[in-house]
Amino acid sequence: DVKVTQSSRYLVKRTGEKVFLECVQDMDHENMFWYRQDPGLGLRLIYFSYDVKMKEKGDIPEGYSVSREKKERFSLILESASTNQTSMYLCASVNGGVVYQGFFGQGTRLTVV
């Protein structure tokens, strides 16, 4: 079974803190994505990566950055956490090739106080 693992299930951070959310997949997938999910807004794409050290902005990249130093790991960084970044954060991993499947991690519920 494909495993996508996010480092924390629940996280509480203070305003202004630098926050790291880690995501690791074990299936050698090329494509990895970070989303946030808010009620009524669905999943919104923050950043994605299609290869090591490659990154592309999604629809709402402001206030976030990412890092992909190794193929299996994609990190989301909140440079200076703010209360409007309180959300559920979901990491997804999608294989390349002919038949596509996409898998999500269990999600990180981040609260910024």
Partner 1 sequence: GQNIDQPTEMTATEGAIVQINCTYQTSGFNGLFWYQQHAGEAPTFLSYNVLDGLEEKGRFSSFLSRSKGYSYLLLKELQMKDSASYLCAVRDKDGGATNKLIFGTGTLLAVQP
Site of interaction with partner 1 (CB under 8 A): 31, 33, 35, 40-45, 48, 50, 56, 58-59, 90, 92, 94, 99-107
CA distance 28 to 108: 22
Q: How far is the CB of 104 from partner 1 (least distance, A)?
A: 4
* Nearer Cβ to partner 1 (18/54): 54
SS3 100: coil
Q: How far is the CB of 4 from partner 1 (least distance, A)?
A: 8
Paired tokens of 84 = 């409007």
SS3 95: coil
* Nearer Cβ to partner 1 (43/77): 43
Q: How far is the CB of 33 from partner 1 (least distance, A)?
A: 6
How buried is residue 21: exposed, middle or buried, by Cβ count under 10 Å (0-12/13-18/19+)? buried
Q: How many Cα atoms sit within 13 Å of 47 on the Cβ side?
A: 21
Q: How far is the CB of 14 from partner 1 (least distance, A)?
A: 25
* Nearer Cβ to partner 1 (82/111): 111
